[in-house]
Amino acid sequence: MEISNESGSKKPKRLTSVVWNHFERVRKADICYSVCVHCNKKLSASSNSGTTHLRNHLMRCLKRSNFDVSQLLAAKRRKKDTPSSLANSNFDEGQRKEEYMKPTVIKFEQEQKKDEIISFASSKFDQERSQFDLARMIILHGYPLSMAEHVGFKVFAKNLQPMFEVVPNSVVELSCLDIYGREKQKVFDIVNKLQSRINLSIEMWSSPENSEYLCLAAHYIDEDWTLQRKILNFVTLDSSHTEDLLSEVIIKCLDEWDIDCKLFSLTFDDCSTDDDIIIRIKEQISQKRPLLSNGQLYDIRSATHLLNSIIQDAMEALRDVIQKIRGSIRYVRTSQVTQGKFNEVARHAGINCQKALVLDFPTRWNSTYVMLETALEYKGAFSAMQGQDPTYTSALTDIEWKQLSSVTTYLKLLVEITNLFSGNKSPTANIYFPEICDVHIQLIEWCKSSDDFLSSIALKMKAKFDRYWRKCSLALAVAAILDPRFKMKLVEYYYSQIYGSNALNSIKEVSDGIRELFKAYSTGSNMVDQGSALLGSSLPSTINDSRDRLKGFDKFIHETSECQSRTSDLDKYLEEPVFPRTSDFNILNWWKVHMPRYPILSMMARDVLGTPMSIFEPESAFSTGGRVLDPSRSLLNPDTRQALICTQDWLLAESGDLKSSSSHTSLPLVIESS
């Protein structure tokens, strides 16, 4: 493009910069200026002004059509300027608020490709799509909504894609709510199309501001026999939500998702949850469908929280001893001289322990256990230090060392079991029975101790355990029976040790319980009237036509089959030999393969094995505090908070690479209380 000089005294100057493709140079009298062909804005075009300001204008011109800016960027990189910084960033610090893009409805692509790449040359820039990606990123990684207004993010976004207009966090919030609505519909369709039932876990959360929340999550085994977990609600409780009204909150959530008739079990995180809450929920559900055996399998309490609770009893009994151990370790670590003296004493005492003395985190009881276990290895050195160093005042007495040794033996078993539960990537219900039975047997033995100190601790622990056992033993046993490696044999093995001469009666109760459960499934799968199915659920019908003229035929088949005394799935399963125990055994794969052989029993197994016998995050399994919400979430309004937490859970499960859908990985928005 050439611009002629009005005077004609000089040769026209050739304008070589690509920016002149978007500006018209105008000269009036002695003033020379350039006009943007897109927005008609006038900028200086004097010979000493250069083109940098013109290029910057093009980067943020709202009326500019979508064009290839690669030449502009390439030209800029050839400059000898330093890389972009806060001082020379490309976004306009004085940009008016009115220029912010107004909220828009995000258009979702149903079949969005994960590896889709948007390039300047081959694809048009999409502001709405980029705005959607920003909101999705904030949800997925738990970033604060205000991130979009951070100066650092603005600089990054402008340098990465100059055409992207950064929007305020209020617009991002609307985008997040829109994503939540769409993802919620997907989850609603999934849970309502399930052929299996839903197990619901109920957890209590808090915030640094002492607010309380109720987290409800659905647990189920899908059609591909994969254990799934999806958060359904994260309800903010206000002062009006007393314990009497908690049942109403839960029932309202069930109605919202339309799963009250698909419910199989409820699992509460606290073993001390008021029984009245369960009773009210059961009464509400039973109005639609009768409950089997008065809902014996309905009320489940978290096994991990039980272990946590009884461990706190042991820690409380050792409180003074634990303080002395902490004081002893602090003393040894006061200086290199003291540490060297202690090491020398340990060598003379014949201690070859390679473990280092470390202080615990008081809110992590497994770290306290490691501290105590290590201190016991250095018992001889601490005792010798007491006689050699008069400034050492945290020494334990012989009785305290004996108490510490005995209680640590108790804790070792509980640590191993908690590690097993928290480390299992697919915590199906069958894994809990043998471990809980081991705890039961050990508690019986500990209560018989002749040491009053130890027996008093054991009795307190066993009182809590017995309350849990009365509620959950049948559900635990039924899940174990549906493990082909165990069947009834494992129940007979453990109950003979737990109940002694009364074992036969207890074994019969379990046998009757699983047969009654199977009868409900068998009846529900053959009868058109499926109202007797377990826990208010109706088994799916293979024929959905309400005008099916052969409905009575199903009842006829059921009745004639009973007359023929045909062996049931359950009898056939129990009569066959147990499956060999191998380290790589996968119970869900086993049932998936054997589903054609046990069509009714496999339906029952899918619901039972999907029951969450424990509620925990792997990182919080050893925590003495409750689950506390991150401040960036606790300060949001309730609707936005629920949207972000639920959608994050759904997106993480969908992505697969960040969180396994069958695991209980902690969300990044979680912190632990102290």
- Torsion angles phi and psi, residue 629, rounded to 5: -80, 140
Is residue 200 pLDDT above 90, yes or no?
Answer: yes
Q: Rounded to an integer, what distance in angstroms lies between the CA atom of residue 401 and that of residue 384?
A: 14
Is residue 191 pLDDT above 80, yes or no?
Answer: yes
pLDDT digits 0-9 by tens, 309-366: 898 888 889 899 999 999 999 988 888 888 888 888 888 888 888 888 888 887 787 8
Specify the DSSP class assigned to residue 145. G
Residues 493 and 460 sit within 8 Å (Cβ to Cβ): no
Q: Rounded to an integer, what distance in angstroms lies between the CA atom of residue 558 and that of residue 525?
A: 9
Where do the H-state alpha helices sit in 482-598? Answer: 487-499, 503-526, 551-563, 569-575, 587-594
Q: What pLDDT is attached to residue 120?
A: 41
For residue 354, count other CB atoms closer than 10 A to its CB. 5
Helix axes 432-447, 452-481, angle to 10 degrees: 160
Is residue 434 pLDDT above 50, yes or no?
Answer: yes
Is residue 294 pLDDT above 60, yes or no?
Answer: no
Q: How confident is the model at residue 13 (pLDDT cuts 50, 70, 90)?
A: low
Mean pLDDT to the nearest integer, 655-667: 45
Residues 312 and 365 sit within 8 Å (Cβ to Cβ): yes
Residues 299 and 471 sit within 8 Å (Cβ to Cβ): yes
3-class state of residue 34 by DSSP: strand
Q: How confident is the model at residue 380 (pLDDT cuts 50, 70, 90)?
A: confident
CA distances from 175 to 200, 235, 375, 557, 637 (A): 29, 21, 55, 54, 15
Specify the DSSP class assigned to residue 615. -
| Lookup result for tokens 């979680």 | 670
- Between 245-254, 256-265, 491-500, 517-526, the lowest mean confidence (pLDDT) is in 517-526
Specify the DSSP class assigned to residue 300. E
pLDDT digits 0-9 by tens, 86-134: 334 444 434 433 333 344 343 444 444 444 444 444 468 888 899 999 9
**Cα-only R_g, the chain:** 34
- For the chain, give the mean pLDDT: 79
Is residue 263 pLDDT above 60, yes or no?
Answer: yes
Q: How confident is the model at residue 53 (pLDDT cuts 50, 70, 90)?
A: confident
- Stated as kind and residue range, the H or E segment containing 418 is helix 398-423
Which residue, 568, 566, 576, 578, is CA-closest to 600?
568
DSSP of 52-81:
HHHHHHHHH-TT------HHHHHHHHTS-P
Is residue 370 pLDDT above 70, yes or no?
Answer: yes
Is residue 674 pLDDT above 80, yes or no?
Answer: no
Residues 226 and 293 sit within 8 Å (Cβ to Cβ): no
Start-to-end C-alpha separation, the chain:
70
Q: Where are the beta strands (DSSP E) in 447-517?
A: none
Q: What pLDDT is attached to residue 105?
A: 41
